[in-house]
Amino acid sequence: MEKLIYILSKDNDISGEIFRDNLIYYFSPTIIDIAESIQINVVDDAVALTSMKRAGPEAADKLPGPPIADGVLFLWLKSASLAKDVESSLKNFTRSFHGYLVTESEPLPNGTPATYPARRTAGFDQVAFLRKPKSQNYSDWIHNWQGLHTQVAIDTQSTCRYIQNVIVRPLTPEALGIHGIVEEGYPDEAAMYDPMVFYDAIGDEERMLKHIQLMMESCSRFIDFDAEPCDMIGMSQYVVKR
């Protein structure tokens, strides 16, 4: 079994809702028989209140253009050799896509049941696209992220799901130069706009500020916010098959 992730962009003249429906109702049936698991995340109206687009000072200047994803496709296949069949269909429903083979670590398991046709999962997801700082070697970066940061992220946020995807290799030409993709699920949609909910500190400003400080200090060990801020995008999750 191998996990594949595709970063998706839509045509500018269609809405997030149309993009979502095309992926769920028209694309997914074309791969349902070869995929062991299908999850589709999209930026649709349900996450309009989120301010999660990018992280780091002056991120818009350092990452020109819009955020890198209008949606993300997460797949489990028996073999990455089946990617050609996925991509042959995917090109009919996207403006562009970038594919990656990844290894998955799931320190906080996802209990979301699959439904087909897919229904929106309660709450929302934050999907982050990580770039290894140029000043760090790879083994130190992995240790700082997975070894030191994992429990901090779980302890300081109101997540119900936390998945770390380490990129093994790109699957498509000109794939974006990222090294990891994080999936974090939040059960309460208020976490989109209320930092007290997001940082698991409802009604306690001191706890919220402490959690923010701990989170930022930990993230700074494996993200260079000054040189290369990362895209962190609020999305709706739809589990088609698991």
d(CA 37, CA 106): 15
d(CA 52, CA 30): 32
Predicted confidence at residue 52, as pLDDT, reads: 57
Predicted confidence at residue 58, as pLDDT, reads: 46
d(CA 202, CA 115): 31
Per-position pLDDT tens, the chain of length 242: 999 999 999 999 999 999 999 999 999 999 999 999 999 999 999 998 886 554 444 444 555 556 689 999 999 999 999 999 999 999 999 999 999 999 999 999 877 776 667 889 999 999 999 999 999 999 999 999 999 999 999 999 999 999 999 999 999 999 989 999 999 999 999 999 999 999 999 999 999 999 999 999 999 999 998 887 688 899 999 999 98
For the chain, the farthest-separated pair of C-alpha atoms sits apart, in whole angstroms, at: 52
d(CA 224, CA 62): 12
Residues 6+ apart with CB under 8 A from 135: 224
Residues 6+ apart with CB under 8 A from 193: 49, 50, 51
Residues 6+ apart with CB under 8 A from 56: 62, 223, 225, 226, 228, 229, 230
Predicted confidence at residue 56, as pLDDT, reads: 44
Residue pair 112/184 in contact (Cβ under 8 Å)? The answer is no
CA dihedral 67, 126, 189, 193 (to 10 degrees): -60
